[in-house]
């Protein structure tokens, strides 16, 4: 990545418990917002489920604010910290642009430095084959690892070092944990040649219902979700002006210890939610090409599979 | 027609092209107002709604709540509370930054530090 966050080329800030990425030297509209939504953990029983709802945003804090209470190795990573209960699920929401003008961005997402889209180890920059990024607007959210075309396995927080995480299964190490993000804005000249701004359609309801053990992320239940192929091509993205962040996951006990704040309450189970006859969601755009799932990710053991193996 | 009303209708109609959930009736229901009232807001016959409704409308239509509130001629009570806590400091800061370019304003905001990983 050519420059650090906050150099004028790129800037990441925490705004309303979301990460706002801005690239003022690319274009005044060059920006995107990423949020981490609390959600139901869908059953890990081999069946394919529709999209669960959002139950509000996870809180985010600057990691540096708690540096004196944390190991030096993890402080060096910078970024932000967010609380998750063990076995809690998360989906990641994307908004290209911050005002009323959508701005296309390419976004890389990894857990434990394993790409959640292409399944490869983390490397700087974008690759097309396999595609290791998402394009927003267009891809409104990501709920898990892209294991096959049209199907993901839900992101589920599990303790690092117990064999559950994608990182441990693919690299044999429990070192990074957490989530990693990188955003690359569209090149200014490509953006200016686009047809008039297209507003994204976001039909998934976000319900604001509820007001060392660092965590990794493991694959959970199967869910129907399309991951779209980049229709612009690699040259459209300004890879000299990307910005990235490490998101450390803290379990509820550690979150209280380092921030002094109570973590959000545990979300209801999928069974409790269905019993209350609350809605699930479908999002499907049949006109757009999808990426194939990553074989490496499809071969991972799920949380339930690992538990059965350990029993 | 007010700009707030026109923008609300523009965003809603755009979303409705691909999703019938963005009909006047359904959006009004989700943000907790009568359809007739939302119609009046969109036509500029009624003044923009309360802060809470404006924020719900912004979220429903994928607009930034602060931008939507500004179009409605309002400033969020959260921002007002921040200014009231240190009125001199923030009034001075806002005046000083009034004509500053966006990049200069962004430098004032605390950034998330990226490290080694």
Task: Give residue-wise pLDDT tens across range B19-48.
Answer: 899 999 999 999 999 999 999 999 999 999
Instruction: Determine the Cα–Cα distance for residues A204 and A286; give it in Å rounded to an integer.
Output: 17
What is the predicted pLDDT for the residue at B54? 96
Which DSSP symbol is given to A118? Answer: T
* Residue from the list B11, B102, B114 with its beta carbon closest to the beta carbon of A24: B102
Nearest C-alpha neighbor of A126 from the set A238, A29, A30, A4: A238
What is the predicted pLDDT for the residue at A68? 82
* Residue from the list A13, A201, A202 with its beta carbon closest to the beta carbon of B112: A13
Select from A246, A249, A284, A285 the residue whose CB has the most chain B CBs within 10 Å, as the one to mutate to test that interface.
A246
What is the predicted pLDDT for the residue at B43? 94
* Residue from the list B19, B107, B115 with its beta carbon closest to the beta carbon of A203: B19
What is the predicted pLDDT for the residue at B8? 95
* Residue from the list B11, B102, B116 with its beta carbon closest to the beta carbon of A76: B116
Answer whether residue B4 shows pLDDT above 90. yes
pLDDT in tens, A147-195: 988 899 999 999 988 889 999 999 998 889 999 999 999 999 999 998 8
Select from A4, A9, A11 the residue whose CB has the most chain B CBs within 10 Å, as the one to mutate to test that interface.
A11
**3-class secondary structure, A289:** coil
Is the CB of A78 less than 8 angstroms away from the CB of B64?
no
Q: Is A47 left (phi over 0), alpha (psi -120 to 50) or beta?
A: beta
State how many domains chain A has.
Answer: 1
> For chain A, which residues score pLDDT lower than 50?
2-3, 199-201, 207-211
Select from A178, A201, A242, A286 the residue whose CB has the most chain B CBs within 10 Å, as the one to mutate to test that interface.
A201
**3-class secondary structure, A193:** coil
* Residue from the list B19, B113, B117 with its beta carbon closest to the beta carbon of A180: B117
Tell me the residue ranges of DSSP E strands in chain A. 11-15, 18-22, 31-39, 48-49, 54-57, 61-62, 80-83, 89-96, 105-111, 114-115, 134-136, 141-142, 144-148, 151-159, 179-185, 215-224, 243-250
pLDDT in tens, A50-90: 888 888 899 999 988 888 887 777 888 999 999 998 889 99
For residue B11, the chain A residues in CB contact (below 8 A) are 100, 199
For residue A1, the chain B residues in CB contact (below 8 A) are 114
Is the CB of B102 less than 8 angstroms away from the CB of A100?
no
ipTM for the predicted complex: 0.72
Does residue A181 belong to any structural domain of this protein? yes
- How close A14 gets to chain B, by Cα (Å)? 7
DSSP B51-75: HHHHHHHHHHHT--HHHHHHHTT--
Residue A143 in contact with residue A51, Cβ under 8 Å? yes
- How close B80 gets to chain A, by Cα (Å)? 16
CATH superfamily for domain B3-71 = lambda repressor-like DNA-binding domains (1.10.260.40)
Helix, strand, coil shares of chain B as percentages rounded to 5? Answer: 70, 0, 30
Structural domain boundaries enclosing A306: 11-310
What's the CA dihedral at A108, A112, A116, A119 to 10 degrees?
110
Does residue A5 belong to any structural domain of this protein? no
Q: Is B19 on the interface with A (CB under 8 A)?
A: yes
What is the predicted pLDDT for the residue at A8? 58
Instruction: Determine the Cα–Cα distance for residues B88 and B92; give it in Å rounded to an integer.
Output: 6
Q: Is B59 on the interface with A (CB under 8 A)?
A: yes
Is the CB of B103 less than 8 angstroms away from the CB of A25?
yes
Is the CB of B114 less than 8 angstroms away from the CB of A98?
no
Which residue ranges make up each domain of chain B?
Answer: 3-71, 77-108
Is the CB of A75 less than 8 angstroms away from the CB of B115?
yes
For residue A113, the chain B residues in CB contact (below 8 A) are 117
Residue A177 in contact with residue A248, Cβ under 8 Å? yes
**3-class secondary structure, A214:** strand
What is the predicted pLDDT for the residue at A211? 29
Nearest C-alpha neighbor of A154 from the set A142, A168, A164, A163: A142
Is the CB of B109 less than 8 angstroms away from the CB of A13?
yes
Instruction: Determine the Cα–Cα distance for residues B15 and B22; give it in Å rounded to an integer.
Output: 6
Tokens of A233: 């091509």
Does residue A287 belong to any structural domain of this protein? yes
What is the predicted pLDDT for the residue at B97? 86
Does residue A247 belong to any structural domain of this protein? yes
């Amino acid at each position: 990545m050519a420059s650090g966050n906050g150099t004028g080329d790129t800037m990441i800030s925490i705004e309303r418990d979301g990460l706002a990425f801005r690239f003022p030297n690319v274009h005044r509209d060059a920006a995107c917002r990423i949020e981490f939504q609390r959600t139901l953990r869908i059953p890990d029983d081999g069946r394919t489920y529709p999209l669960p709802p959002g139950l509000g945003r996870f809180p985010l804090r600057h990691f540096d604010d708690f540096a004196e209470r944390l190991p030096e190795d993890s402080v060096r990573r910078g970024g932000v910290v967010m609380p998750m209960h063990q076995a809690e699920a998360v989906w990641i929401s994307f908004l290209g642009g911050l005002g009323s003008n959508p701005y296309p961005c390419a976004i890389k997402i990894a857990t434990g430095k394993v790409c959640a889209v292409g399944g490869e180890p983390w490397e700087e920059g974008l690759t097309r084959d396999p595609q290791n990024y998402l394009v927003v607007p267009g891809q409104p959210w990501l709920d898990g690892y892209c294991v096959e075309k049209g199907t993901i396995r839900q992101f589920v927080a599990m303790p690092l070092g117990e064999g559950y995480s994608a990182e441990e299964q693919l690299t044999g190490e429990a070192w990074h944990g957490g989530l990693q993000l990188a955003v690359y804005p569209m090149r200014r000249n490509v953006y200016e040649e686009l047809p008039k701004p297209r507003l994204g359609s976001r039909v998934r309801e976000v319900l604001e219902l509820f007001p060392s053990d660092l965590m990794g992320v493991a694959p959970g239940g199967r869910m129907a979700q399309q991951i779209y192929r980049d229709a612009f091509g690699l040259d459209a993205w300004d890879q000299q002006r990307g910005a990235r962040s490490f998101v450390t996951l803290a379990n509820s006990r550690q979150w209280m210890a380092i921030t002094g704040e109570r973590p959000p309450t545990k979300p209801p189970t999928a069974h409790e939610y269905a019993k209350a006859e609350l809605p699930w969601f479908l999002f499907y755009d049949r006109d757009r090409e999808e990426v194939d799932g990553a074989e490496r990710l499809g071969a991972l053991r799920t949380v339930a599979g690992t538990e059965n193996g350990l029993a | 027609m007010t700009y707030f009303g026109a923008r609300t209708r523009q965003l809603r109609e755009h979303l409705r092209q691909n999703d019938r959930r963005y009909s006047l009736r359904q959006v009004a229901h989700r943000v907790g107002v009568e359809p007739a009232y939302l119609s009046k807001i969109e036509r500029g016959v009624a003044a923009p709604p309360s802060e809470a409704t404006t924020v719900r409308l912004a979220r429903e239509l994928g607009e930034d709540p602060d931008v939507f509130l500004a179009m409605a001629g309002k400033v969020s009570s959260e921002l007002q509370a921040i200014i009231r806590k240190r009125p001199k400091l923030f009034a001075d800061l806002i005046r000083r930054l009034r004509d500053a370019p966006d990049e200069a304003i962004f430098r004032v905001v605390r950034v998330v530090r990226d490290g080694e990983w």
